[in-house]
Structure 1
């Protein structure tokens, strides 16, 4: 079959790779219908997560049709259209039983790498390096889905493919941040980043009753999408002082919840960006925490800051004093999608959640390298490149 593979730093190629096979009785094999790029894939592409091997299949956000089922699978049959959570979780361990699915003890068969980095290993993730299991990704004609009864969800008949696709990762990641940050009715929520995850966090905050939701970015077409499709307010950080603007709209207090949806390659227009970029390129720090710092300083006293953007290891100049002295709650997580995808699909079925607009560029899988180039460089207003395998 064909698959889009990582072949080196900032290099991808469509290659012939072996077809996936059932390896466990709880597996299913899917024919991939749609699969999309994600901002966190750029960290792999650029070599910032150094656990890729040439030939690894990329992709973790996808929708497919079941073509083969293991003997132990009970919830799915051949022909079912399913969306799959990007994180791989067993459903049986202590963490899964406590709905902390991305922390599954059994989803990552290569735990040593992340145990050394973080003390404990999280679950596995499709197409996201050998640090998170070494699983083949979704940018392919077919994919094996382990623990299918846990991580694959049947799509309601009335929900189009391009809508349901984003129930795989972008929407549940946004839901994770909003729920874990305990956004309440009447809250003011600020979201850094107007990509797919940031937009879905804004949508989730609105559905939970936030009084005002403000999304911060610099890319005009993404900010326009937020206003048109999500209905949230926007700030362009290249045009305004974000901290001052947030104080102004909150009566001087600051947002109740600040959600960082940018990650380790954050950009800014200030001198701190140049400092962070230089240290990251010299490998004196692994991540650029520019947006996290701004969120911590902007958040009201006693508020909550949540990191949804992907971070790998260590950062410099982290404002721990602000966290402590302002009595902030600082949290972060990979998505617990198994917990949120069913309700997200219900919102989609009722027309309460719009996602198709994120798919600005839909193309055959054969054009995957060009799609990643457009996505990385924000060419032609690309918010997400979506691939259609021919399988």
Structure 2
């Protein structure tokens, strides 16, 4: 089959690789009909996530048609399914609490890899996201093996085209969980750093939950998409974010803040320049300007939600502000399986639109061009969907 493989920093190639096979009784094989490039994929593309080997297949946002199943799968051949990026067994301590992204059984190399020492506990399995998360082949391919297929995939009605449901795999439930983690009450003011795909879905979700939303970014098209979702906007290249937020909230600050940026924050603040230099030379993994700014902006007694991905250690962290202001913080990889049924219903009823985000559709063979533009031209390339066939 054809698949997109990682070969090194800023070097991804579509190559012919062996077809996947059923390995375990709960497996299913999916013929991929749509897959997408995620902002988190750019962390791999930029070489800031360790644990990748040349030839690894990328991609964790995908859907398709079932072509084969193991004897214990609950899927049937021919069904259309969206597959969560989180691989979860459904039976461990965490899965039984519906904390699916904390699954204890889905990472087969967890006890040998570095994440247990780095984080105190090993990470769970993720599709196409390095050998730190199990080394699973990703979905930017013609076919993919889906472990624990009786737990993860959600069956999609044939009346809903791929574009409407593809993002149930990651960024839509991630944006929804980000808004949920912000503890939104009707009438709250919520500030969202980053109007990339997750940020835009967090904005859409927060609006549905009854919040006034202020969106922060510097790309004109992304800010315009945020406006279309009903958000007020701040261009951080034109305005002091902290001053603007104080003016817009009567000097109190937002009730909740959402960091949808993560480890590759933009900006020319002294802290971010220092972080960027350390990241370039491999001395540090994270650029945390947006997170620091969000903590300082949030009102006293407010809430911080952090869907943005961070991987290592961060210095210059305003721990004093976090403590003295009495902030509540909630973070984590998304418990996708917890949200998919409800979000699928909302999509089917027309309450949630996902297609507004898509800027480009490319054949899988053009995936390297898609990565390069999604990385370097984020104003115009807001979301790239790849078609393997």
> Cα deviations across residues 16-54 of structure 1 (Å, max 9, x unaligned)?
111111111111100001100011111111110111000
> Cα deviations across residues 228-286 of structure 1 (Å, max 9, x unaligned)?
2x222221111111111111221211111101011111011323221111122233321
Inter-CA distance 23–116: structure 2 relative to 1 (3 Å threshold):
same
Contact 2:72–2:150 (8 Å) recurs in 1: no
Aligned partners of 2:248 and 2:372: how far apart in 1?
Answer: 37
> Cα deviations across residues 108-135 of structure 1 (Å, max 9, x unaligned)?
1121321021010121110000000100
Aligned partners of 2:179 and 2:109: how far apart in 1?
Answer: 30
Point out 4+ residue stretches in structure 1 off by more than 4 angstroms: none
Contact 1:374–1:380 (8 Å) recurs in 2: no
- Establish whether residue 233 from structure 1 lines up as the match of residue 232 from structure 2: yes
Inter-CA distance 244–158: structure 2 relative to 1 (3 Å threshold):
farther
1:316 corresponds in structure 2 to: 315
Contact 1:216–1:234 (8 Å) recurs in 2: yes
Contact 1:235–1:242 (8 Å) recurs in 2: yes
TM-score by length of 2: 0.97
1:371 corresponds in structure 2 to: 370
Aligned partners of 1:237 and 1:268: how far apart in 2?
Answer: 8
Q: What value does the CA root-mean-square deviation take over the aligned residues?
A: 1.2
Alpha-carbon offset, residue 379 of structure 1: 5.8
Give unmatched runs, 5+ long, in structure 2: none
Instruction: Indicate the SS of the match to 2:65.
Output: strand
1:200 corresponds in structure 2 to: 201
Aligned partners of 1:256 and 1:156: how far apart in 2?
Answer: 38
2:79 corresponds in structure 1 to: 80
1:173 corresponds in structure 2 to: 174
Give unmatched runs, 5+ long, in structure 1: none
Contact 2:285–2:311 (8 Å) recurs in 1: yes
> Cα deviations across residues 171-207 of structure 1 (Å, max 9, x unaligned)?
1111121222322222111111101100111111112
- Establish whether residue 40 from structure 1 lines up as the match of residue 34 from structure 2: no
Aligned partners of 2:174 and 2:162: how far apart in 1?
Answer: 19
1:3 corresponds in structure 2 to: 3
Contact 2:262–2:307 (8 Å) recurs in 1: yes
Q: How does 1:104-143 map to 2 (within 5 A)?
A: 104-111=103-110, 112-143=113-144
- Establish whether residue 154 from structure 1 lines up as the match of residue 155 from structure 2: yes
Contact 1:28–1:144 (8 Å) recurs in 2: yes
1:52 corresponds in structure 2 to: 52
Aligned partners of 2:210 and 2:238: how far apart in 1?
Answer: 29
Aligned partners of 1:9 and 1:89: how far apart in 2?
Answer: 29
1:24 corresponds in structure 2 to: 24
Inter-CA distance 319–101: structure 2 relative to 1 (3 Å threshold):
same
Q: How many residues align?
A: 387
Contact 2:307–2:332 (8 Å) recurs in 1: yes
Aligned partners of 2:186 and 2:161: how far apart in 1?
Answer: 30
Alpha-carbon offset, residue 380 of structure 1: 7.0
Instruction: Indicate the SS of the match to 2:286.
Output: coil
Contact 1:177–1:333 (8 Å) recurs in 2: no
1:220 corresponds in structure 2 to: 220
Aligned partners of 1:233 and 1:338: how far apart in 2?
Answer: 31
2:188 corresponds in structure 1 to: 187
Alpha-carbon offset, residue 159 of structure 1: 2.3
